[in-house]
Amino acid sequence: MSENETLLKLEGITKRFPGVTANEKIDLELETGEIRCLLGENGAGKSTLMNIIYGLLQPDEGKILVKGKEVKFHSPRDAINHGIGMVHQHFMLIPTFNPVENVVIGKGGTRKIMPDIRGAEKKFVDLAKKYDMNLNPKTKIWQMSVGEQQRVEILKALYHGAEILILDEPTSVLTPKETEHLFKILRALKEEGCSIIFITHKLWEATTISDKITVLKQGKVIDTVETKSTDAKSLSWMLVGRKEIQKIEKKGGIEGERILEVDNVWARDDKGLDALKGISLEMNRGEILGLAGVAGNGQRELAEAISGLRPVTKGKIKLKGKEITRCNPRRIQKMGAAYIPEDRIHCGAGQNLTIKENLILKKYYREPFSRKGFLQFPKISNHCANLIDDYNVVCRGAETLGKQLSGGNLQKTILARELDAEPDFIIAEQPASGLDIGAGEFVQNQLIKSRNRGAGVLLISANLDEILLISDRVAVIFEGRIMGVMEADQVDIGIIGEWMLGSDGGKKNAEKETESLEEEKVQ
Amino acid sequence: MSNSLQEKVLKQFFIPLAWLGISILGAFLAGAVLILLVGVNPIEAYASLIKGAFGSKYAISETLVKATPILLTGLAVAFAYRAKLVNLGVEGQLYIGAAAAAWLGLFSFGQLPGFIVVLLVSLGVFLAGGLYALIPGFLKAKLNVSEIMTGLMLNFVAMLYVSYLVEGPLRLPRSVIPRSPNIEEVAQLARILGGNFRFHSYFLVGVGLAILIFIIFYRTTLGFQLKIVGEGERLARFAGINVPVIQIVAMVVSGGIAALAGYGEVGGVHRYLLAEISPGFGYYGLVVAFLARMNPLGIIVSSLFFSVLLGGAETMQRTVGVPVFLINIIQGLVLFFVVGLESYRRKLEKRKLL
Amino acid sequence: MGVIDAAVVITILAAAVRIATPLIFVSLGEIITEKSGVLNLGVEGIMLMGAISGFYTAYTFDDLWLGMLAGVLVGIIFGAFHAYFCIFLRTDQTITGISLWILGLGLSSFIYRIAFSGYFVRPRISTFPRISFPILHEIPWIGPIFFNHNILVYLGFFAVPIVWWLINKTEFGLKIQAVGEHPKAADTFGINVQKIRFFSVVIGGAFAGAGGAFIPIGSLGSFVDNMTQGRGFIAIAIVIFSRWNPLFAVLGALLFGTMSAMGTRFQVMGIDIAHQALLALPYIATIAALVMFNLSKKGKRGGAPGSLAVPYEKE
């Protein structure tokens, strides 16, 4: 290893965006045949750095050297020409094309009038065989599974002669089996002399696949370490920057009445496929139920089904003992349910609405905010001023537009709206994602406050740490099914991890197990 | 607080107005170049334009007559656009309104007083236009079919329908240019300045509607719901708003208002129905609504501006020989200036955020 | 069938082919434009500009081909105008298109008034002569309907497979589709999204200009105010009807042409079917087609390009 030459070198890369420095004086050296993990939380600057290497962004300062020569990338085409390939988090493939068509124009074209589709297809199929990837070159991308699409992305990069492959959070959309397959491919590529930069915020991935790990935090490199000579503990210390995550005071569990019953619920996703396949859950007042799971396993669909935004095809949902399966969202809100959606930009708050409008989004029709169809602005203004104070929203007044707020303040606005009415039941979907630590803690504190006054909180998060931090019970969702439920103080991380990966501890029927687990709970 | 109020007034009123002024000025300058190319003194041409629009009581009346349908269709466009629906079908809804006015206006109303008849006919016309706009509204709300395209298609259908009416069932026998008989006198709209002037009561109705819609937009829960739906379907659903219903309401009301413009033409201007009842008032309405940035009160101003152009154009052609079509050119150019400056403003705004 | 005999049917269908030709030109261009993700509602205005510039040039220089060329060139200029606003200034494409239409509507008639100000008789040109295809035009039915037209009609139909080939088989076509479907992905491929879109809109403009110029040069022989009578908008409807497929666009154009020809013919013959009803059919058919596409499970977008009318901005 020591004799390997340096393939890619970054020197003092700095990139500023309005208001933030996304990358600050970043140095990085990548050797031939090395798998490097770039570890960091959301917003640490990983993606920005990779976009710079791939020519999508240009650095404000600093140098990029490929094989010792300084290069300047004006577009991805330059990067591709220097042997750099990228697999984006959201795949950059034309959905209506087949893989070969994607590959053919994948480097900005061949400068021929008619591309040699047949030749490209042969080369593509050969390449796929070489790395043991089973792909039909004639299937359109939109008809492929996520894992297949990712393989096409990798092949596209290889086809164009990539020696350095950048993968941006490649596992966040994969099932464990697909992840395994991906790791196999990556190791094979390493054997061929390919260098890989692997971006992730998951510790175990970093330690499993990489040779070296570089930890990024708030745009700066904290350290680069050999994977062999480190462990999860010291990595997480670097990542979080303090020894232990602060535990928030919780009152003893309130043994409240049943607040939510989800009974064998089925629902479809936007593509019309079954996303929920018989979910059953029960929750009481005064508890936080953490729903863990890899993103995209039906979490959003479940949240939407409960809040009335998504039709339930089968099964029953009861809130406070009353069936709400076919109720409209407003009915369910009126019954005391609140929903903090993951998608703050399109769903949680209006970008072109003022804070005031965002705050009365769900109660504009109620007295005293409106009377006989007319909005009562003095009352609304008062109410909003109070909420802005109470929830510490930093803004230039109640007329500030949603798009002018930072992520944290937008989320505080949403919290203020959702929690102000003291709802009995709260769904919080990834409530702290994308926020800085302070704002994230504020959000978590608010959820605990609600729990302490007797509300039931369903916390949906892909971040296991967050779930373990504040939940009373932990459930795991996988491919639209609940794999199991556990008391938080008896949590066995090993089992939770297995559930998240879809293995159910020997039992074949996940549904049955869920039921039996639920029965145990009741007893 | 007064500071922020000042800032608000400045931001929401004067700055947009200044931008609009620049656009209009630019378009007129470009028009002046064209006039010069024709070999006419632009100042002379514009002077005759102004004289044509305001030179006499009759000229002013005619200018306001042209403003009326543009104002109404402009309001119609703005109402639908509050929910981010582009009602490109206002022209067709205007034609349907005109047809409904002709049908209803040919009824015998017995001894009913005039204003009740006008009210009844207005209501019927509003309903007819609303029902016609229900087609694109329903298709958009329930099946997500583009309201732009269906609206456009229905314009042609409506025009053909009116053409059928005046050539067939409603044709005044022996009329050279096919037209319907005059509608009943009680159903005609009052000519406010006297019988010799075509200026009629619907201009005032239009102004009243503009104020009403302003109040609806900014002071009522309906306006709030329209705005939320316009902000995004997911957000609106999340807020508990029944999105299809609001979308349909937006389109139906919009269609109803556009149809009133048709009644204005049949009941106030011509007294009868003819195949070319509108030279594209609906499309002008789209333009004025856009110029006023969908602000109902602004639409009063922008529609008056447009009607001045239309009203003075013929005089300009007669006296200095600049073709009336210069007006269309100026209209098109104003729009290009507006959208161009809008994009420039966005750029500035972004830089300010830095 | 009474008065409707074979000769009448053939006359109607032959007229349908002629009426369809400008629609084919314009909708082919619009397909290219929209495939790249830009909506051009202003083709009606471009057609009018193509018509006036084509007519004026043909009249002045007494050269029909030069007229067609002028129409195409003006179409390119106006296409570039639309493209510049929509792509580089990222303006609202609906409003920009309507502005373009109003501008073209005014400018074409304005130019006509200025250029032919002293004329008492409407100036006319002789249109392209008919060319009967040898042998083919003798085939019963098919011959007189399809193979007895002027050269521009043949050109229009010939352009259909060419455009299909351009979009689906050439690299440029793949790029057009890529920037229309997923501009961000295309950007990461190193494709210049704005450049490809610009060219697509310009090509669309050229086709619209040709379609406009066809009307005076290939069919009417004179210029009349607003002579396109909404055919630009009909072409847009045909594009949707055809699900952005040039081969189906021909069918849409022929359907419209047939209805239109039947309407006129029946009116002349005094047949007691309201010709307006026939003329309305294509519009209603388009709405029905839109509804059907949206109802069908597979194509929620009705085959529309993924980023149609969405401006692209690099981060």
Report the pLDDT value the prediction gives residue B90, as an integer from 0 to 100: 97
Question: Does residue A138 sit in the same domain as residue A202?
Answer: yes
Number of domains in chain A: 3
Domain CATH for A101 = 3.40.50.300
Nearest residue to C83 (alpha-carbon basis) of C179, C194, C198: C198
Q: Using the beta-carbon criterion (under 8 Å), do B139 and C287 form an inter-chain contact? A: yes
What the block records as the tokens of C270 is 């005094």
- Looking at the complex, does the CB of residue C177 fall below 8 Å from at least one CB of chain B? no
Length of chain C: 315
Is there a contact between C67 and C58 (Cβ–Cβ < 8 Å)? yes
Question: Does residue A416 sit in the same domain as residue A448?
Answer: no
Q: In whole angstroms, how far apart are CA A220 and each of A215, A432, B314, C27? A: 8, 22, 70, 54
A341, part of any domain? no
- Looking at the complex, does the CB of residue C306 fall below 8 Å from at least one CB of chain B? no
A129, part of any domain? yes
What the block records as the tokens of B49 is 């334009």
More confident residue, B131 or C143: B131
Q: Using the beta-carbon criterion (under 8 Å), do A346 and B353 form an inter-chain contact? A: no
Least confident interval from A86-90, A431-435, B196-200, B331-335: A431-435
- Per-residue pLDDT of chain A (523 residues), as tens digits, is 444 678 999 999 999 876 678 898 999 999 999 999 988 766 678 888 999 999 888 999 999 999 989 999 988 888 999 999 999 888 899 999 999 999 998 887 777 888 888 999 999 999 999 888 888 899 999 888 888 899 999 999 999 989 999 998 888 777 667 888 899 999 999 998 899 999 887 777 888 899 999 988 878 898 898 988 887 767 767 765 543 445 556 666 556 789 999 999 999 988 777 889 999 999 999 899 999 887 778 999 999 999 999 999 999 999 999 999 999 999 999 999 999 998 888 888 888 899 999 999 999 998 889 999 999 999 999 999 999 999 888 888 888 888 888 778 889 999 999 999 899 999 999 888 777 667 788 888 899 999 988 899 999 987 777 888 889 999 999 889 999 998 888 877 778 777 876 666 444 344 444 444 444 444 4
Distance in Å, alpha carbon of C47 to nearest chain A alpha carbon: 29
Question: Does residue A180 sit in the same domain as residue A209?
Answer: yes
Residue of chain B whose alpha carbon sits nearest to that of A402: B231
Cβ-count burial B306-340 (b if 16+ within 10 Å, e if not): bbbbbbbbbbbbebbbbbbbbbbbbbbbbbbbbbb
List A71's β-bridge partners, or say none.
A64
pLDDT reading at C288 higher than 80: yes
Which of A240, A268, A294 finishes a domain?
Answer: A240
Q: Domain map of chain B by residue range? A: 1-40+322-354, 61-319
Please name the residue that has the structure tokens 């995550």. A245
Q: Using the beta-carbon criterion (under 8 Å), do A374 and B220 form an inter-chain contact? A: yes
Question: Does residue A286 sit in the same domain as residue A332?
Answer: yes
Across B135-151, average pLDDT? 91
- Looking at the complex, does the CB of residue C84 fall below 8 Å from at least one CB of chain B? no
Q: Using the beta-carbon criterion (under 8 Å), do B354 and A18 form an inter-chain contact? A: yes
**Which CATH code fits B61-319?**
1.10.3470.10
Which of A205, A240, A275 finishes a domain?
Answer: A240
Q: Which residues in chain A are contacts of C164 at CB distance < 8 A? A: none
Q: What's the maximum distance between 2 C-alpha atoms anywhere in chain A?
A: 80
Report the pLDDT value the prediction gives residue B354, as an integer from 0 to 100: 38
Q: Which residues in chain C are contacts of A101 at CB distance < 8 A? A: 174
Q: Using the beta-carbon criterion (under 8 Å), do C94 and B157 form an inter-chain contact? A: no
pLDDT reading at B200 higher than 90: yes
More confident residue, B259 or A363: B259
CA gap B178, A511 in Å, rounded: 74
Do the bridges between strand A425-429 and strand A374-375 make them parallel or antiparallel, or are there none, so unpaired? unpaired
CA gap B312, A134 in Å, rounded: 73
Cα dihedral across residues C62, C67, C70, C71: positive or negative: positive
Q: In whole angstroms, how far apart are CA C285 and each of A447, B149, C259, C281? A: 55, 12, 11, 6
- Looking at the complex, does the CB of residue C273 fall below 8 Å from at least one CB of chain B? no
Q: Which residues in chain A are contacts of C188 at CB distance < 8 A? A: 54, 56, 76, 86, 88, 92
CA gap A119, A339 in Å, rounded: 53
A1, part of any domain? no
pLDDT digits (tens, 9 = 90+) for C186-197: 988 889 999 999
Q: Can you tell me whether residue A164 is helix, strand or coil?
A: strand
Residue of chain C whose alpha carbon sits nearest to that of A56: C188
Write out the residue range of the structural domain in which residue A399 sits. 348-420
A451, part of any domain? yes
More confident residue, B12 or C131: C131
Question: Does residue A414 sit in the same domain as residue A445?
Answer: no
pLDDT reading at C249 higher than 90: yes
Question: Does residue A361 sit in the same domain as residue A331?
Answer: no
Distance in Å, alpha carbon of C10 to nearest chain B alpha carbon: 26
Which one of A339, A347, A364 has the shortest CB-CB distance to B234?
A347
Residue of chain B whose alpha carbon sits nearest to that of C276: B160
More confident residue, C59 or A256: C59
Q: Which residues in chain A are contacts of C303 at CB distance < 8 A? A: none
A100, part of any domain? yes
Q: Using the beta-carbon criterion (under 8 Å), do B231 and A353 form an inter-chain contact? A: yes
CA gap C70, C55 in Å, rounded: 9
A495, part of any domain? yes
Report the pLDDT value the prediction gives residue C7, as an integer from 0 to 100: 85
- Looking at the complex, does the CB of residue B328 fall below 8 Å from at least one CB of chain C? yes
Distance in Å, alpha carbon of C178 to nearest chain A alpha carbon: 6
Across B205-228, average pLDDT? 96
Q: Tell me which chains share at least 3 CB pairs under 8 Å with chain C.
A: A, B
User: Testing the interface with C: which of B134, B145, B278 to mutate, by most C Cβ within 10 A?
Assistant: B145
User: Testing the interface with B: which of A16, A330, A347, A400 to mutate, by most B Cβ within 10 A?
Assistant: A347
Nearest residue to A95 (alpha-carbon basis) of A271, A236, A225: A271
Q: Where are the alpha helices (DSSP H) in chain B?
A: 2-9, 15-38, 42-54, 57-82, 90-105, 114-143, 147-167, 202-219, 221-231, 233-238, 243-263, 281-291, 296-320, 326-353
Report the pLDDT value the prediction gives residue A89, as an integer from 0 to 100: 80
List the 221-280 stretch of B: residues with Cβ below 8 A of A: 221-222, 224-225, 227-228, 231-232, 234-235, 237-242
Is there a contact between B95 and B277 (Cβ–Cβ < 8 Å)? yes
Which one of C169, C175, C184 has the shortest CB-CB distance to A105?
C175
Which of A393, A420, A447 finishes a domain?
Answer: A420
Q: Which residues in chain C are contacts of B287 at CB distance < 8 A? A: 98-99, 102
Residue of chain B whose alpha carbon sits nearest to that of A305: B238
CA gap B132, B151 in Å, rounded: 9
Distance in Å, alpha carbon of C130 to nearest chain A alpha carbon: 35
What the block records as the tokens of C213 is 């110029």
Q: Which residues in chain B are contacts of A333 at CB distance < 8 A? A: 240
Report the pLDDT value the prediction gives residue A265, as an integer from 0 to 100: 95
- Looking at the complex, does the CB of residue C298 fall below 8 Å from at least one CB of chain A? no
What the block records as the tokens of C83 is 């493209």
Q: Using the beta-carbon criterion (under 8 Å), do A92 and C181 form an inter-chain contact? A: no
What the block records as the tokens of C307 is 């980023």
Please name the residue that has the structure tokens 């309906």. B222
pLDDT digits (tens, 9 = 90+) for A140-192: 998 888 888 999 999 999 999 899 999 988 887 776 678 888 999 999 999 98
Residue of chain A whose alpha carbon sits nearest to that of C314: A56
Nearest residue to A154 (alpha-carbon basis) of A125, A191, A185: A185
- Looking at the complex, does the CB of residue C170 fall below 8 Å from at least one CB of chain B? no
Across B282-309, average pLDDT? 91
Residue of chain A whose alpha carbon sits nearest to that of C176: A105
Question: Does residue A228 sit in the same domain as residue A314?
Answer: no
Q: Which residues in chain C are contacts of A115 at CB distance < 8 A? A: 170-171, 174
Question: Does residue A235 sit in the same domain as residue A378?
Answer: no
Distance in Å, alpha carbon of C161 to nearest chain B alpha carbon: 26
pLDDT reading at C248 higher than 60: yes
Distance in Å, alpha carbon of C263 to nearest chain B alpha carbon: 12
Residue of chain A whose alpha carbon sits nearest to that of C175: A105
Q: Can you tell me whether residue A287 is helix, strand or coil?
A: coil
Q: Which residues in chain A are contacts of C175 at CB distance < 8 A? A: 105, 109
Is there a contact between B71 and B303 (Cβ–Cβ < 8 Å)? yes
Residue of chain B whose alpha carbon sits nearest to that of A303: B238
pLDDT digits (tens, 9 = 90+) for C166-215: 999 999 999 999 999 999 999 888 899 999 999 999 999 999 999 999 99
A144, part of any domain? yes
- Looking at the complex, does the CB of residue B41 fall below 8 Å from at least one CB of chain A? no
Q: Using the beta-carbon criterion (under 8 Å), do A353 and B228 form an inter-chain contact? A: yes
Residue of chain A whose alpha carbon sits nearest to that of C180: A94
The domains located in chain C, with CATH, are 6-117+150-295 (1.10.3470)
% of chain B with per-residue pLDDT over 90: 66
Report the pLDDT value the prediction gives residue C310, as an integer from 0 to 100: 81
> How many CB contacts within 8 angstroms connect chain A with chain C?
75
On the CB side of C219, CA atoms within 13 Å amount to 22
- Looking at the complex, does the CB of residue B157 fall below 8 Å from at least one CB of chain C? yes
pLDDT digits (tens, 9 = 90+) for A20-71: 788 989 999 999 999 999 887 666 788 889 999 998 889 999 999 999 899 9
A247, part of any domain? no
User: Testing the interface with A: which of C188, C243, C300, C312 to mutate, by most A Cβ within 10 A?
Assistant: C188
Distance in Å, alpha carbon of A80 to nearest chain C alpha carbon: 9
